[in-house]
Amino acid sequence: MKIVLTDAQTVLDNLVNADILKQFGEVEEYGLLRYDEVAEKIADADMVVCNKTLLDKNTLRLAKNLKYIGLFATGYNNIDIDYCKAHNIAVCNAGSYSTNAVAQHTFALILEHFNNTAKYNEYVQDGRWKRSKTFSPFVYPLSELAGKTLGIVGFGNIGKAVAKIANAFEMRVIAFNRSEKQADGVEFVSFDTLLRESDIVSVHCPLNSESQDMFDKNAFAKMKKGALFVNTARGGVMVEQDLFDALQSEHLCGAAIDTLRVEPMEEDCILMGAKNCIMTPHIAWAPVETRVRLMNIVADNIRAFLNGTPQNRIV
């Protein structure tokens, strides 16, 4: 059995490795194959495991022995599902591995906005506290989360975890979900009501035809003046120019973003340097424990497939 990893560096490093997959056969790792390299490198593979590598009819055309594609991810929009169906190639994804990590990062972003921890650390490290006339210099504003309204868009596993944390902070939690949901401590409302009443809007829905560009200039205009926008879902749910305009006009007090439409960030990304915009490079899902859990799920998927009882199967 030959297993080829096409973009290993998007998951693995010196702390997390692919040794768990060696029980199934020969593992060939590539850090990050270019599109034009993929077809040749997977030509003799029995299995391919990838994160974001585009596996379409062109890159799959030489892989005559390919029986299985495993994903280091929940999303599978990079896989040509129709081609895989036609050629009897199983596709299995990895779901629910990063729920706690993304919920944690969501609040790391929210707390950074309201507590200005990095700015205060810089203030101290620059020696300015030593020169302060008071023991508590009020250089940057601080604000409590208790009593604020958090609006959650998309109430899957991550949305639920975020709500649980918000409840612990004694926040009011409202949520919008396409399908009907119920949860203790959460009030489900319409999308417009959520935009109108939330002090913080946090996005946790998948990217699809319904959510594409749902946060545009009209949505931002409906948000409460001075609200915070948080996106740890997918960059495609927001129109970056419209978010930039809402920040520059100070209609929104800030944004905290972990995902962009094009990643890595483009040189001319409009949000670079935007007013009151905190950005991290799509790392909400990436704690060491989370990636180890992901590798275990990927291995379990392969084992189940080989045993004739496939799990997490898309095709």
Q: Identify the pLDDT of residue 136.
A: 97
- Are the C-beta atoms of residues 23 and 46 closer than 8 Å to each other? no
Q: Identify the pLDDT of residue 217.
A: 98
Q: How far apart are CA 67 and CA 54, in angstroms?
A: 17
3-state secondary structure 269-280: CCCCCCCCEEEC
CB neighbour class for 265 (10 Å; exposed up to 12, middle 13-18, buried from 19): middle
* Three-class secondary structure of residue 313 per DSSP: strand
What is 2-97+288-306's CATH topology? Answer: Rossmann fold (3.40.50)
Q: Identify the pLDDT of residue 95.
A: 86
Q: Identify the pLDDT of residue 75.
A: 86
Calculated CA dihedral for residues 182, 183, 185, 187, nearest 10 degrees: -20
Q: Identify the pLDDT of residue 236.
A: 96
Q: Identify the pLDDT of residue 310.
A: 97
Pairing of strands 252-257, 26-29: unpaired
**Level-2 CATH architecture, domain 99-279:** 3-Layer(aba) Sandwich (3.40)
Write down the domain spans for the chain: 2-97+288-306, 99-279
Do 99-279 and 2-97+288-306 fall under one CATH topology? yes
Catalytic residues: 234, 263, 282
Mean pLDDT by 10 residues, the chain (315 residues): 98 98 98 98 98 98 98 93 98 95 98 98 98 97 98 97 98 96 97 98 94 98 98 97 98 98 97 97 98 98 98 96
151: nearest Cα among 92, 217, 219, 86: 219
CB neighbour class for 88 (10 Å; exposed up to 12, middle 13-18, buried from 19): exposed
